[in-house]
Amino acid sequence: MRWSTNLDCETDIMQKTIQLIEASDTSASATDPSTLALANDIDPRTVSLNGITRIDLRFPKFTDGRAYSQAYLLRRRMGFTGELRATGDVLPDQLQLMQRSGFDTAVLCAGQDCAIAERQLTHFERFYQGDAVHTTPLFKATTGASA
Amino acid sequence: MYQYTDFDRHFVRQRAAQYRDQLERNLRGELSDDAFRPLRLQNGWYIQRYAPMLRVAVPYGEISSRQMRALATIAREYDQPSAHVFDDALAKQAILGTQHLPTGYGHFTTRQNVQFNWIPLDKSADVMDLLASVDMHGIQTSGNCIRNITTDALAGVAVDEIVDPRPYCEILRQWSTLHPEFLHLPRKFKIAVSGTTEDRAAVSWHDVGLHLVKNDAGEVGFKVLVGGGMGRTPIPGTVIREFLPWHQILNFLEAVVRVYNRWGRRDNMYKARIKILVKAEGPRYTEEVEAEYQAIVTHDGAPHTVTQAELDRVSASFVPATHANIASSAPELAAYQVTEGEQPEYQRWLTRNVKPHKNPARRAVTLSFKRLGDAPGDASGHQLATAADLADQFSAGELRVTHEQNLVLPWVRADQLPTLWNATRQAGFARANIGLLTDMIACPGGDFCALANARSLPIAESITERFQDMDELFDIGEIDLHISGCINSCGHHHSGHIGILGVDKDGREWYQVSLGGSDGSTLSGAATPGKVIGPSFAASEVAEVIEALLNTYREHRQSGETFIAAVRRLGLEPFKIAANLARQETGDAGKVVNIHLNSADALVD
């Protein structure tokens, strides 16, 4: 695995929290017992998370959004604090959704440009609704709600 | 109407900038067509038969004159194909029999949006910038996400209103806009809200239908229906909550959509709508939603509980128009006196196109976009601009797009009705046919849409042509005629008293006719799909069949009985017999003409 070097997005108002991982053979599968690969049709609430430090959620196609709900449940409902990793058909334009749903790493599809991917995290500074990371919707935020 | 905050304005500009970046990457080859497709769809950009189509969001149908003028500009300056594209389209459609394809037009849709058919894709980002400059966008007007929220076109002015739905619609709009979890649902997701005793929003036919109600204590809440929809499997929605306190609506819908996102079918796009999940799971779906809702409230801390302050903030935008607050920028027209000779025509217009208003001194007036020579719901750039002028002169600068594909001026002073009538007559919007046969709903069909199996517009035109006599239209009375060019049902054929569905069979356009459908209004009865009355008809037969059905009604009706009531009383049989007698071509086993839309199996948006 090789971490993207272009991660400096500190200046953005919306903090970039998701780490991009370029596709390579070694990142394709998880063999560590502390890593759990959760299929899309598994209810995360039925799985024991004891000793699990990383959960991989797969996007079989980038248009298949089940993993967003799984991520939300893992983060918000089950309080999972380990690494949540997006795998599969991970494309630059969905990264912001992944970040907001609670993913903190994403393995970009082969052939995707990390710099382009990074830029997709910078289009918006704030959103209307709360999410897995910023749970408070804009209308309840103390500033900026109706500015 | 809702007033954009700085945040709202900034947000749509950021969205337009994001879209421009995506488009440019696509044009440079850095973003594949497949990866770009859902991104453009979620901004309203389809690729249709000959050109891209843009669907502009008109949230809950409410639009200002300034916004309408921007749409007029888009029609005039951007809805213009290159000669190459247009000639190709004309040549191909001519083989099917279409001689004319309008350019420079907008089109009102059954979901209160506005579509354009010819904007070249390389200009699409410029159009998004133009829209953003007037607080508009195409966000989530397509794609497998929560779509534009629709409501009663008379919201806020209807005399039978229990609660004004618009602030709730706006709160729902903001919540659903770029919701990270719900942008890649199994299939599209449509929400409609009604706040009146009469259902003018076809609430039962939506993935989620919401009726604003008051309980015995006078508290506001929602009756929640889930799993309605048309398409291949028409099913009216099921009530899963009789009364949900208003402030819980976002938390509850989060549960509804999350359960769908997780368990809705993704293996077959024809079984991917929430209606299939609700039907397959029955009460288990409701139990799952209730359990998830409880977890959101108790465990997650109900983060999206709507506060009174937020409801008040949003509601403050929706102030009724009064003499005091109407901008007086538009000069008042000289009062028009209706002559005695004009009285019958004027009275008809008052009967059909003018609706009562919460304010006894005002009226809601429908501008009819159902007239010979133009497709139902089509408006040229000039007509869009004229409608904007009328809104400024007569309706506090505000209009509504109706799901029946007309426009409403919601704030007309009763004393200005004669003057408005005269002005709409000059503009060509005064046809007194609202609610009558020629006020039909029709999708763009096979002249524009890549999904269509058959053309809708020539069918609409042939019926409009045949029924031009106003005496006859008034005699037939209120009737819903709905035409769809394919089973996706954008023309709502399932809910028509008479429904016409275009099908592709043996390489030819055919039309299935159904009877007895209902949108859920008082006139039509509980929402139900119509029943097909026999084998499909040829295009040349459809108008004849409609006439036969109406003649059967007129022959058998009792005093004061509407068409739909007569269908319910008589059953389908007498209508079937009459329709079959109208078969000319298909009565003779049909001639197979080897022309074909070639669209049924194409990979399309």
Q: A123 at the B interface (CB within 8 A)?
A: yes
Nearest to B184 among A64, A76, A119 (CB): A64
Judge whether A58 is closer than 8 Å to chain B, CB to CB: no
Dist CA A24 CA A73 (whole Å): 28
**Percent of chain A as helix, strand, coil, to the nearest 5:** 25, 15, 60
* Structural domains of chain B ordered from first start: 6-133 (no CATH), 157-314 (3.30.413.10), 343-427 (3.90.480.20), 441-588 (3.30.413.10)
Strand pairing partners for B245?
A: B221
**Which of the residues A139, A140, A142 would you substitute to probe the B interface, choosing the one with the greatest number of B C-beta atoms within 10 Å?**
A139
Pairwise CB contact (< 8 Å): A76 & B300 = yes
| pLDDT at A60 exceeding the cut of 90 | yes
Query: What pTM was computed for the model?
Result: 0.94
Interface contact A45, partner B, CB < 8 A: no
Angstrom distances, CA of residue B66 to CA of B106, B231, B326, B417: 15, 35, 14, 23
Q: Give the nearest partner residue to B180 out of A70, A131, A145, using CB atoms.
A: A131
pLDDT (0 to 100) of residue B123: 96
**Residue in A closest to B38 by C-alpha:** A63
DSSP at B222? E
Number of DSSP helices (H) and strands (E) in chain A, helices first: 3, 5
Please report which helix (H) or strand (E) contains residue A127, including its range: none
Nearest CB among B14, B181, B310 relative to A69 is that of: B181
| Residue whose structure tokens are 């007194």 | B432
Cβ under 8 Å to B: A residues 23-42: none
Strand-pairing partners, residue B62, are B400
Beta strands (DSSP E) in A42-120 are 54-59, 83-88, 105-107
Residues of A in contact with B171 (CB under 8 A): 139
Q: Quick one: closest CA in A to B4, which residue? A: A146
Pairing mode, if any, of strands B191-194 and B150-151? Answer: parallel
Contact across the interface for B7 and A135, Cβ inside 8 Å: no
Please say whether the dihedral angle defined by the alpha carbons of residues B278, B283, B287 and B290, taken in this order, is positive or negative. positive
Residue labelled with tokens 């799971």:
B281
* A132 compared with B330, residue with greater pLDDT: A132
Apex B427 CA angle, B422 and B430, nearest 5 = 60
Closest CA of chain A from B58, distance in Å: 19
Chain B residues lying within 8 Å of A139, measured CB to CB: 171, 174, 306-307, 310, 313
Q: Is B308 exposed, middle or buried (0-12, 13-18, 19+ CB in 10 A)?
A: exposed
Residues of chain B with pLDDT under 70: 323-331, 587-605
Pairing relationship of beta strands A54-59 and A83-88 according to DSSP bridges: parallel
Work out the minimum CA distance from A33 to partner chain B, whole angstroms.
26
pLDDT of residue B379: 98
As a residue count, chain A comes to 147
| pLDDT(A4) > 60 | no
Angstroms from B189 CA to nearest CA on chain A: 14
Beta strands in B368-436 (DSSP E): 378-380, 398-401, 407-413
User: Residue B558: CB partners within 8 Å, gap ≥ 6?
Assistant: B566, B569
pLDDT of residue B507: 80
Query: Is the separation of the CB atoms in B169 and B220 below 8 Å?
Result: no
> Measured between CB atoms, which of A94, A123, A128 is closest to B174?
A128
Contact criterion met (CB < 8 Å) for B31 and A146: no
What is the per-residue pLDDT for B585?
A: 81
Per-residue model confidence (pLDDT) at position B584 = 85
d(CA B249, CA B376): 35
B195-198 contacts, C-beta under 8 A, 24 or more apart = B195/B151, B195/B152, B195/B155, B195/B161, B195/B162, B195/B163, B195/B164, B195/B165, B195/B168, B196/B152, B196/B154, B196/B158, B196/B160, B196/B161, B196/B162, B197/B160, B197/B162, B198/B158, B198/B160, B198/B521, B198/B522
Residues with Cβ within 8 Å of B225's Cβ and at least 6 positions away in sequence, in order, are B203, B204, B206, B208, B209, B210, B211, B236, B237, B238, B239, B240
